[in-house]
Structure 1
Amino acid sequence: MPDITRRFGLRHLRSAPTAHIRHHKRGKLVHDGPGLSFWFRPLSAALSEVPVDDRELAVSFHARTADFQDVTVQASVTYRVSDPALAAARLDFSVDPDTGVWRGAPLEQLATLLTESAQQHALAVLARTDLAAALADGVATVRERIGAGLADEPRLPATGIDVVAVRVVAIRPEPEVERALRTPARERIQQDADRATYERRAVAVERERAIAENELASRIELARREERLVDQRGTNARREAEENAAADAVRAEAEATRTVRLAGAEAESVRAVGEARAAAQASWLRVHGDVDAATLNALAVTRLAENVPRIEHLTLSPDVVTGLLSKLAAPDGGEQP
């Protein structure tokens, strides 16, 4: 919408660069072009504003497939006005000289024209396509068909309209049909998930079995090594006992030999001592045999005195002294009557 201001009964128009302005004065074209700015008299001016920028038109409609299933088509058409003069001649783009507002609804007319044309070509291609094919490959097919149909539409060039691009966003069935179509896929996905779960469990069981087998093999090997260790310990103990027995036998034999030798030596020593004692005793007896009785008694008393313990006090009775004196006085040492 252009900006229109008032000054002293005149009007000043200023448009955007994307708006093509056509100004007729008394039936003659005075100003024609985009982004214009000029003064005009409202009573003698006829103004038209044609947008020349690219515009997006959202298209949504229902269609029926070859197997009588309703689908919803969501598309978008990009168009622009390539010939503003032709578009202004075919559609009402006139604006109010006081407010700059369109007197009619030209963009709605263009939207209706493009929507009906696109819907016509889409219905034609979907009516010959099954639902499964429409959902699988229908987007590309419908887009190509709508683009080709709009390019061949005679009313668009006659109105000065160029279609820039066509996009089909989605083709959707009814909610119940969509849920029904999703069920097999969900079932397959669930089956794949269950299969993966079972395979994972099988792999886990196989791994647990392998681990158990490894543990059992380790235990068997450990038991075998313990058996070898016990056998080796028994062999070592037996060998040690044999060596100890041999050492004890050698030691006992050496001890016996030493004992025998000691006993022989001791016996020889005892024999020699006995012979010496016997010889000494014989000599002592021979010497004493030649001595009289009084000398032997004196020797006996002397020997007795050597062996008697120390006497601190000695008490002699008259009877004892008399008897001793009598014995000493007797010539043969015997008792007198």
Structure 2
Amino acid sequence: MFGFRFIKFQPNEYVMRYAKGKLIKEGAGLSFTYYGPTTSMVVVPVGSKEVPFIFEEITSDFQSITIQGEISYRIADQKKIAGLMNFGYNFKKSCYISEDSIKLPQKIVNIVRVQTKRQIEKMSLREAIQSSEVLADTMVKALVQNGEIERFGIEVLSAAILAILPNKETSRALEADAREAILKKADEAIYVRRNAAIEQERIIKENELSTEIAIEEKKMQILDAQLESEKLLQVKKNELEEAQLQFEIAQEDKRKALVNSEVENAKIKADARIYEIAKSMEVINSVDSSTIKALASVGMDSSQLIAVAFQELAGNAAKIGEFNMSPELLQGLMRSK
């Protein structure tokens, strides 16, 4: 109404409000009422922005590669970029007056391409394909130190290389070369694995032989110990048998000595007995027979004395003319029997 309007900006938009050519207000996410005929605005986006890029470069060995990546940045100094590029804002149509805001990402991509070209020209094809992480780190450092980026007040947040690809013919050649290398490594791996298996088998065989040898050695040691034990046992047995034999010999010697002593004693006793008998016979021979008979009859009972008497009668039968025995005497002798 009468040229006065209200406008509101987002927090990621930095606004510089000019009235009659003078800066009267600035800041992020402003909202205010302005008078259209005398007000102009500059709106600079302050949020981070990701810009994809893809371009071809030539390596040091003259091979063409395609580099695909993404750069992330934000405008850190709004006044610097507002002084170099037109970020004037048409508040009636809610759009920028010029295309400078659209051209800024391409300017940054061009700077990135120049920095990437410098790095790729120093690398061979194989090095370039394998250097995506190194190339991204180098790119960020180079952009931070780049004077043009600094003049625009831009802060580089990150850079990523998503792919580095050779052309189709080169890619097929590399694939074939890599495939042959992989197959060669596979063959080498098979050869190494077979050798390792053979070596492992040899080690196992050696361990088995060593185990068998150790077992045989243990058996020999056990056998030697058994033989030594049997030998010691036999020696002890022989010693015991020898001691027993010596004991038996000693016993036999003692028995022999005892027998000899007994024989000698018997002989002495026999000689004494013979001497005694001889002396007795000498005495008997010197004594009258009737005296002997009388001595013999000492201690006899009546029947024995009658028997001796009858014997005497029988001896002198030639001298006896007649012998009479009464029945009473005969009956007495029979009763005695």
TM-score bracket relative to the smaller structure: 0.5 to 0.7
- Amino acid aligned to 1:41: Y
More divergent stretch after superposition (189-198 vs 106-115): 189-198
Asked if the contact 1:42–1:97 (Cα under 8 Å) also holds between the matched residues in 2, the reply is no
Match of 1:267 among 258, 263, 269: 263
Alignment partner, residue 14 of structure 2: 20
Aligned partners of 1:289, 1:172: CA distance in 2, in Å?
170
Alignment partner, residue 207 of structure 2: 211
Q: How does 1:115-264 map to 2 (within 5 A)?
A: 115-116=109-110, 118-119=112-113, 122=116, 130-137=124-131, 140=134, 147=142, 151=146, 160=152, 162=154, 164=156, 167-173=159-165, 183=179, 186-187=182-183, 190=186, 194=190, 197-198=193-194, 200-201=196-197, 204-205=200-201, 207-219=203-215, 221-222=217-218, 225-226=221-222, 228-229=224-225, 232-233=228-229, 236=232, 239-240=235-236, 243-244=239-240, 246-248=242-244, 250-264=246-260
RMSD: 5.3
Asked if the contact 1:13–1:37 (Cα under 8 Å) also holds between the matched residues in 2, the reply is yes
TM-score, normalised to structure 1, is 0.60
- Amino acid aligned to 2:200: A
Deviation at 1:263, TM superposition (A): 1.5
- Amino acid aligned to 1:247: A
Decide whether aligned partners of structure 1 residues 132 and 333 sit closer, same or farther in structure 2, where only a CA change above 3 A counts: farther
1:264-307 CA-partner distances (Å, limit 9, x unpaired)? 211122223334444555638938966565864776879xxxxx
Alignment partner, residue 312 of structure 2: 332
Alignment partner, residue 317 of structure 1: none
Aligned partners of 1:93, 1:333: CA distance in 2, in Å?
205
- Amino acid aligned to 1:94: Y
Decide whether aligned partners of structure 1 residues 237 and 301 sit closer, same or farther in structure 2, where only a CA change above 3 A counts: farther
Decide whether aligned partners of structure 1 residues 39 and 217 sit closer, same or farther in structure 2, where only a CA change above 3 A counts: closer
SS in 2 for 1:41: strand
Alignment partner, residue 56 of structure 2: 63
Does residue 1:94 correspond to 2:94, yes or no? no
Q: How does 1:28-67 map to 2 (within 5 A)?
A: 28-35=21-28, 39-44=32-37, 45-52=39-46, 55-63=48-56, 65=58
- Amino acid aligned to 1:261: A
Aligned partners of 2:65, 2:109: CA distance in 1, in Å?
19
Asked if the contact 1:65–1:128 (Cα under 8 Å) also holds between the matched residues in 2, the reply is no
Identity of aligned residues (%): 9
- Amino acid aligned to 1:34: G
Deviation at 1:255, TM superposition (A): 2.9
Alignment partner, residue 105 of structure 2: 111
TM-score, normalised to structure 2, is 0.60
- Amino acid aligned to 2:161: V
1:147-199 CA-partner distances (Å, limit 9, x unpaired)? 47x9477xx789x4546467343443279758667645645664675566456
More divergent stretch after superposition (263-272 vs 55-64): 55-64
Structure 2: gaps of 5 or more residues = 318-322, 325-337
Asked if the contact 2:72–2:157 (Cα under 8 Å) also holds between the matched residues in 1, the reply is yes
Deviation at 1:131, TM superposition (A): 2.9
- Amino acid aligned to 1:80: I
SS in 1 for 2:312: coil
Decide whether aligned partners of structure 1 residues 256 and 85 sit closer, same or farther in structure 2, where only a CA change above 3 A counts: closer
